[in-house]
Structure 1
Amino acid sequence: MRPESEAELAEMIAGAQGPLRIIGGGTRDIGRPVAGTPLSAAALSGVTLYEPGALTLVAGAGTPLAEIDRTLAAQGQRLAFEPMDHRGLLGSSGAPTIGGVVAGNVSGPRRLQAGACRDSLLGVRFVDGAGRVVKNGGRVMKNVTGYDLVKLMAGSRGTLGVLSEVALKVQAIPETAACVLLYGLEDAAAVAAMSAALGSPYDISGAAHAPVGVDGHPVTMIRIEGLEASVLYRVGRLKALLAASGAEIHVEHAPEKLAAGWQWVRDVEMMQGRGADVWRFSVKPTDAPELVAGLSAGRGDLRVLYDWGGGLVWVASAPGDDLRPAGLAGHATLVRASEATRRAIPVFHPEPAPVAALSRGLRRRFDPRGILNPGLMA
């Protein structure tokens, strides 16, 4: 099923006789496997409004992310939240869509400065499980109109409704950028260095640490963006601040190397390729090194990448192993695994009973027949 318009999408959902498997570009197969008729929103494509002066863009949910990027770049602008491309990690093909990005609340390294995808989302149009067209939010940054369904839809992964259109605020591409690289730090020292940088007044837009970098040695990456004179000043101050870490410090300014390095972090390139399950942990940064040490105990070496200053930890482990520790003070998501493993192990972190009750109530309200990606987030 591939509707060509919002009205056709509503008609298809209203007339559905069984479960529907909602897909956009088909690049993010995350969650418990869904048995249902595929329904693709890919044809609901195209930028319908773009006002560079107002930093606002409206597009059909099926619009390829690459088209969004090209449109914005032509005016010196970008999506602030730096969405990840999952194709390399999941071994998928196709083209990521802006609707899929919103449905997954997909956010990259710049989240620690600019917020998540949901924080850039101004408005949505979607069709719920009864075939009703719903609109919420608007095209301006200050818009208060009843319930905030805009943020509710971000991360709902097609279980509450099928997005047909999204409105986003965008930002200007900075004049320049630099990356302060610290070599040789152990995990705890790296998290401490990133925390010191993020706690400084130097406006950090990325902070990541790889215990095993591309050259086989630990590397900590701290990004600064803005006007050239400001970047140079902040880099100098940051180097002085981090000198006490004892790390070997270098600074990278070359745009092509910066782009490649942060894409390596954003898309978790060190874990691409099959042969391991991939977990995504969201924790308090100071808890991250202890979490990794606990996961490594009895399992040997794990492939690990810290992002968001240590608040996001990617871990690649042996297939079929449930890495979610008891009493985890955070969230764990099984991002990549076989279908059998995703059926046997909860993909998303179990919700506390009151939150789970609210989630069930919302799904009953927006999808009374239970036909939209049923069981995906179970």
Structure 2
Amino acid sequence: MGEGFHPTSAEELEAVVKWAAAERTPLEVIGSGSKRNWGRAVQSAHTLRTDGITGIIDYEPAELVLTVKAGTPLQEVENLLKDHNQELPFEPANLGSVLGATAQAGTIGGVLATNLSGPRRLKAGAARDHVLGLEAVSGRGEIFKAGGRVVKNVTGYDLARGFCSSWGTLAIATAFSIKVLPRAAKECNFVLLGLTAQQASEAMTEAMGSSAEVSSAAHLPQGFCSLSQEHAMTLLRLEGIPVSIEYRLEKLRSILKRFPSQELIEGEASRKTWGDVRDLIGFAGSDKPLWKVSVSPTAGHQVIAELEKQFAIRWMMDWAGGLVWVEMQGGEPHDVPLRQIISENGGGHATLLRASGEMRASIDVFQPQAETLMGLSKRLKAQFDPHNILNPGRMYVGI
């Protein structure tokens, strides 16, 4: 790896990218580097870090809008919002302990570039759904702006949201305007104990379809982590004002009364539990291949059952069964049979979150795209980064 660049402003970043475009020199684009081991390794002569472009540009708590520079640490953003009793509604995970980085590493730009969304995605939507505006530098070395600071600014090509999930391959963000929300006055976990994966899937589906307004639903199998050592735990989160939560709790107790082993986790204990689910603490301290599997919520338990017939795995369900985290205990990724099982159970996609560099270079880390979709991805890449200098090959070979 050659020289590294560490700009501290959009103008300095623009100059670096203009030089790289003129020289046809690829750049590995990272924030703080906390997600560097997620995705394919980038073959580049230089590294460009954006964590020097930091700071809060504007924050109006009454308007629920935050404008922030992309390299600002996620922890700093969350602390600021907490001071005003607000939060990022999409609840981004901190994956440092899973990916071998510093526990509290990560920038707001990295969160949005990867569309990193936590357990509350079921209710609040994904990270991209809360991006109002974007300032970025394209692969041509041009600063551009998209969107704005108001929710109604959605006309035309929505570049601000399109940036999310691009992994730094289209443009390098320098600032965002983000919609934030008030923190709930109270939260609690309604917990069902000892359910099988299929029973948990049924319970979560029923709870999500009820008027109880469950904001998150996850299932931890017995022995998965310290929390579920004695019993499997199906977690249903309720958030809001106390009187509303009491009413909705009674709804859940009524509709799920056929599962008699129930308990309640409240307050900070509930927040800690969901923080551990969000940050995948149960998978920390391992280097075994870890997959993020997205399927229909009713198919999650089926995918798990088919995988367990063939492989030794550890797993956890989130998003009411629509997100299954799968760790392959034998050390091999088994990407082909995994994706075949997903296809045979209603379809979906699988992304390799953690594996060695050699493994990530030899298989499809991201779900292979159909030919027509890959063609669209290549055309989009050519529009924003015609010289293929921004994170080339980070997601797919050739783009």
Structure 2 distance, partners of 1:218, 1:345, is: 33
Does the 8 Å CA contact 1:194/1:309 hold for their aligned counterparts?
yes
What are the Cα deviations for residues 31-83 of structure 1, in whole angstroms up to 9, with x where unaligned?
A: 11012211011111011010111100000000111111111111110000000
Structure 1 distance, partners of 2:375, 2:43, is: 24
Alignment of 1:146 with 2:153, yes or no, is: no
SS at match of 1:57: strand
Q: Which one-letter code corresponds to 2:208 in the other structure? A: L
Task: Name the residue aligned to 1:127.
Answer: 137
Structure 2 distance, partners of 1:358, 1:23, is: 25
Structure 2 distance, partners of 1:188, 1:70, is: 38
2:71 to 55, 62, 69: 62
Alignment of 1:90 with 2:102, yes or no, is: no
Structure 2 distance, partners of 1:152, 1:321, is: 29
Taking the TM superposition and a 5 Å limit, the aligned residue runs for 1:231-270 are: 231-244=245-258, 246-253=259-266, 255-270=267-282
Displacement, 1:239? 1.1
Determine what percentage of the aligned residue pairs are the same residue.
39
Q: Which one-letter code corresponds to 1:132 in the other structure? A: E
Structure 2 distance, partners of 1:362, 1:322, is: 31
Does the 8 Å CA contact 1:280/1:334 hold for their aligned counterparts?
yes
Alignment of 1:364 with 2:373, yes or no, is: no
Alignment of 1:46 with 2:55, yes or no, is: yes
Displacement, 1:247? 4.3
Task: Name the residue aligned to 2:207.
Answer: 197
SS at match of 1:109: coil
Structure 2 distance, partners of 1:105, 1:56, is: 19
Alignment of 1:320 with 2:340, yes or no, is: no
Does the 8 Å CA contact 1:184/1:247 hold for their aligned counterparts?
no
Does the 8 Å CA contact 2:86/2:180 hold for their aligned counterparts?
yes
Q: Which one-letter code corresponds to 2:92 in the other structure? A: P
Displacement, 1:237? 1.4
Displacement, 1:208? 0.1
Task: Name the residue aligned to 2:299.
Answer: 287
Alignment of 1:14 with 2:18, yes or no, is: yes
The count of aligned residue pairs is: 375
Displacement, 1:202? 1.3
What are the Cα deviations for residues 179-227 of structure 1, in whole angstroms up to 9, with x where unaligned?
A: 1000000001101100001000111111000112434221100000001
Does the 8 Å CA contact 1:185/1:247 hold for their aligned counterparts?
no
TM-score, normalized by length of structure 1?
Answer: 0.97
SS at match of 2:52: coil
SS at match of 1:166: strand
| Stretches of structure 2 lacking an aligned partner (at least 5 in a row) | none
Structure 2 distance, partners of 1:33, 1:351, is: 19
Does the 8 Å CA contact 1:32/1:375 hold for their aligned counterparts?
yes
Task: Name the residue aligned to 2:288.
Answer: 276
Task: Name the residue aligned to 1:219.
Answer: 233
What are the Cα deviations for residues 158-193 of structure 1, in whole angstroms up to 9, with x where unaligned?
A: 000000001100000111011100000000110110
Does the 8 Å CA contact 1:320/1:337 hold for their aligned counterparts?
no
Displacement, 1:357? 0.6
Task: Name the residue aligned to 2:308.
Answer: 296
| Stretches of structure 1 lacking an aligned partner (at least 5 in a row) | none
Alignment of 1:73 with 2:82, yes or no, is: yes
The 1:325/1:247 distance shift into structure 2, 3 A limit, reads: farther
1:112 to 89, 102, 122: 122
